[in-house]
Structure 1
Amino acid sequence: MHADIVVVAAGSGLRMGGLDKSLITVAGQPLLRWSLEALEAHPAVRRVVLVTAPERVATYGALDWMPAKVTQIVPGGATRAASVAAGLAAVAAAPGAVADVIGVHDAARPGLSADVIDRLLAACGNNAAAPVMPLSDSITQVAGDGASRVAAGAVRRERLAAAQTPQVFAGAHLTAMIDALRGGAADSGAQSSAPTDEVGYLQQLGIPVHLIDGDAQLRKLTEPSDVALIETLLLSDAARRLGSLGAVTEALRSIPALGALRIGWGDDAHPVGTTGELLLGGLAFPGSPALSGHSDGDVVLHAVADALLGAANLGDLGRIFPANEQTPRGADSGELLREVVARAGAAGLTPRWVDLTITARSPRLADRLPEMASTIAALLSISAAAVSVKASTGNLVGDEGAGRAVRCTVLLLAEQKGG
């Protein structure tokens, strides 16, 4: 028996601040790599088709760790159904006979094990199979929206389960599934009745779906707060398989050695101007004047860029973007930081953690710090959970405390490839 698997990594990552969560580092390696390596190692898996957002296809194709069984990287669509349909269509168009079993797996579930794959293949037969987990919390129906929500009756959980992936089906159903998913992709409005996973489409087609016991390690990474828990699950799974000493050894192999870590320090301050609009951390603050400077005056992004340059030993921001005709007046600091990230990347350096403090008398920043962390994380291609943003008035001391200037200090941790 052999299987072809579609791995879906095409989500927008809105709950991760717009970050491509498939490439964030989890327990020492990119999230996506965990699932791909599990599939690569399984003898029954013949090929893997990876689906990602159209703008990420080239990036994924250039990854030097991409496993050999990933034969195609295809652009997804506007919905999950469209993305899965694109992946399955690539499977159908691949040379050779259709695989005995076709599967679909979420890249955001890194804890895929050979045991789960084995049990899915055994349960599939001529029909389909999926892993599910029992519900531990009480389930309540909800009426109304927002602050008007009220409980509308309890639901007994004995006949309910949480679906996981991979979800698999016999190769004979491949064409029917592609057609069903394309139909579901067309029905994507706010009131859509289209299924939310492959099990739903299989049921629409009248194909029995056999359920197997799922695995707690298959938890899906959705929110930044999930990262720490999933790292714990992955390492505990290693401990379960290898014994505690083996797990520690395995974990240490995947975590950057101390010699591969680099620390950068950034510090920037600008006087408060009298016109324009304040920009801090890539966010606009209407009603507050812009900071004076040759560029747009975003001291936060400047300090982050300087910290990354310091970690890479590439000089300082003023050397790369001097305050003269070489740098356009009012230059976008986000674009400047992107250029610094590219230069650091070319030098083999990858940001891993940022801790920064903004010192300003005004405006009030507290409510927008999470948004700022997400914006900075997106520029650095790391998780928002790896960006700490703090604000202080400096006890109203100095130019910052008097409202004449804004300062930002940054400590940045980065990993040196081959360090």
Structure 2
Amino acid sequence: MSSGATFDVIVVAAGSGLRMGGVDKSLIPIAGKPALRWSLESFAATAGVRRIVVVTAQDRVANYAALPWIPAAVVAVVPGGETRSTSVAAGLHALERAPGEAGAVLLIHDAARPGVDADVTLRVVAAAQQHGAAAPVMPIADTLKRVAPNATGASTAHSSGSVDRAGVVSAQTPQGIAAQHVPAFAAALVSDTSATDDTSVLESIGVAVELVQGSARLRKLTEPDDILSVGAMLRPSDPTVSFSEILSSLPGSRIRVGWGDDAHPVGTTGTLHLGGRAFPESPALVGHSDGDVVLHAVADALIGAAGLGDLGRLFPATEATPKGIASGTLLAESVERAAAVGVQPLWVDLLITASAPKLAPHLDEIGANVAGLLGIPVDRVSAKASSGNLVGDEGAGKAIRCAAIL
């Protein structure tokens, strides 16, 4: 199938991936290849493609630009904005400055939909060229319910009736815009920053959108369960992903492991802090900060994974670091510094060694505190404790230690 029309593509990959646990969805391996790679290779191999721009988060631009599998048709990798609309606007600006002849149609695609193929792409391009704008859609299989307001404040909801599915479809991407409508579309993006898709913006300025047949393969990666289900459609023979595939599909700078280990002597005054929790019945640990060895170990592991040195180098025990500073502040700043070089924590395993206080009843709270500071789900933090078995200063109650792998 060939539409005969040329096209440019903006691939939006700037999302936070919160429902995926904060992982960059665009680089999640799907059936052996990163999600973004599936889309880029499909567009690059489709007849009529002119230029492709990838829009991603500011801290990912350098890593994306260095990916070894980026096709030659990709003319720019640029930072996006806080919303989808501002990210698309950034992509449009990059296309305006990019070399090469503009296509007759502009396509905008979500990187979280790796199942795009030439058939869908060309259907959208042909319809957009003929009618001005187009989007792929699929019928809705599930029954739709209206949710009634719940005055009781309960976690459950009540149905106020069903929605007639007749005349209702689910929109997918890529969505296409004929070149003559792109200037008006770009202007509308400035005022409509909350739009969840591009055809909504077009409709708001009076451009009719032609609907074409979409594909089940274009299911969006939203929840962790989607990884295998989408992979099964893209590679039915083996949708699973081995660890070796993960390593081979991601750039080397994305896989990091950090180790942190910190110990402080037990003092005689103050309040003990461990993992962001206060233990008023126990004296504070001696140190320049509040002495929270748990947060220190986690921060040190993250700093090491990011190649930024160590905790003492970034936050020396001098006047440069306020005396008694909360260790949560140190960890939060460590997270920011790691993110600035493209490193995000995924999982933490930590072991606290202390003869007192008894930590078992508080490990869940400690784990939740660490997860909150790192911005990852609680189930990605494993917090364990040991009494020290009367060995060393920790076992004798003279010190408390924590080791962390991140």
Q: Which residue of 1 aligns with 2:197?
A: 197
| 1:55-109 Cα shifts (integer Å, max 9, x gaps) | 4375356534344322233443443223223322433454555412211112233
Q: Is the contact between residue 279 and residue 290 of structure 1 (CA under 8 Å) also seen in structure 2?
A: no
Aligned AA (1:180)? A
In the alignment, is the contact (CA less than 8 A) between 1:16 and 1:374 conserved in 2?
no
In the alignment, which of 153, 176, 180 is matched to residue 172 of structure 1?
Answer: 180
Equivalent position SS for 1:130: strand
1:255 to 242, 246, 253: 246
Q: Does 1:110 align with 2:114?
A: yes
1:144 paired with 2:141, answer no
Distance in 1 (CA, whole Å) between partners of 2:260 and 2:106 is 50
Q: Mark the runs of 5 or more structure 1 residues left unpaired by the alignment.
A: 189-194, 379-383, 413-419
- Shift in Å, 1:144: 2.0
- Percent identity, please: 40
Q: Matches of residues 58-69 of structure 1 in structure 2 within 5 Å?
A: 59-60=62-63, 63-65=66-68, 66-69=70-73
Instruction: Determine the C-alpha separation between the residues in 1 that align with 2:330 and 2:226.
Output: 34
TM-score for both structures, normalised by structure 2? 0.70
Letter in 1 for 2:235: A
* Pairwise CA RMSD: 4.8
Question: 2:165 — aligned with what?
Answer: 157
Q: For 1:114-157, what per-residue CA distance to the aligned partner results, in whole angstroms no more than 9, with x for missing partners?
A: 34323333443422222233333321112326538532221123
Matches within 5 A, 1:85-96: 85-92=89-96, 94-95=98-99
Take 2:305 and 2:54, find their aligned partners in 1: how far apart are those partners?
Answer: 33
Question: Structure 1 counterpart of 2:165, which letter?
Answer: R
CA shift at 1:388, angstroms? Answer: 2.7
Unaligned ranges ≥5, structure 2: none
User: Residue deviations 1:183-239, cap 9 Å, x none?
Assistant: 313xx5xxxxxx431122233323232231222453233xxxx23x34324542443
User: What CA distance in whole angstroms lies between the structure 1 residues aligned with 2:29 and 2:12?
Assistant: 18
Distance 2:290 2:47 in 1: 55
Q: Which amino acid aligns with 2:232?
A: S
Equivalent residue, structure 1, for 2:235? 239
Which residue of structure 2 lines up, in the alignment, with residue 213 of structure 1? 214
For residues 397 and 199 of structure 2, the distance between their equivalents in structure 1, rounded to whole angstroms, comes to 59
SS of aligned partner of 2:196: coil
Mapped contact 1:393–1:401 kept (Cα < 8 A) = no
2:331 paired residue number: 334
TM-score by length of 1: 0.68
Question: Is the Cα contact below 8 Å between 1:298 and 1:333 reproduced in 2?
Answer: no
Query: Matches of 1:268 and 1:296 in 2, distance apart?
Result: 13
Radius of gyration: which is bigger?
Answer: 2
Bigger drift between 264-273 and 135-144 goes to 264-273
Instruction: State the one-letter code of the partner of 2:66.
Output: L
398-407 or 174-183, larger mean C-alpha shift: 398-407
Matches within 5 A, 1:10-409: 10-15=14-19, 19=22, 21-22=24-25, 25-27=28-30, 31-53=35-57, 55-56=58-59, 59-60=62-63, 63-65=66-68, 66-92=70-96, 94-95=98-99, 97-127=101-131, 128-144=133-149, 147=154, 149-185=157-193, 195-204=195-204, 205-221=206-222, 226-227=223-224, 229-240=225-236, 243-244=237-238, 254-256=245-247, 266-270=260-264, 274-275=269-270, 278=273, 280=275, 284-285=276-277, 291-295=285-289, 297-304=291-298, 328=321, 333-334=330-331, 353-357=347-351, 361=358, 364-366=362-364, 369-370=367-368, 372-373=370-371, 375-376=373-374, 384=376, 388-392=380-384, 394=386, 407-409=401-403
Report deviation, 1:5: 1.0
- Residues 217 and 233, structure 2, Cα contact 8 Å, conserved in 1: no
Separation in 2, partners of 1:165, 1:408: 48
Change (3 A) 1:153 1:301: same
Amino acid paired to 2:29: V
Query: Aligned in 2, Cα 1:371/1:114: closer, same or farther, shift over 3 Å?
Result: farther
Q: Which amino acid aligns with 1:388?
A: R
3-state secondary structure, aligned to 1:126: helix
**Alignment partners' CA distance in 2, 1:123 and 1:325:** 66
Q: Deviations over 1:264-296 (max 9, x none)?
A: 76544445664478463xxx4468686433455
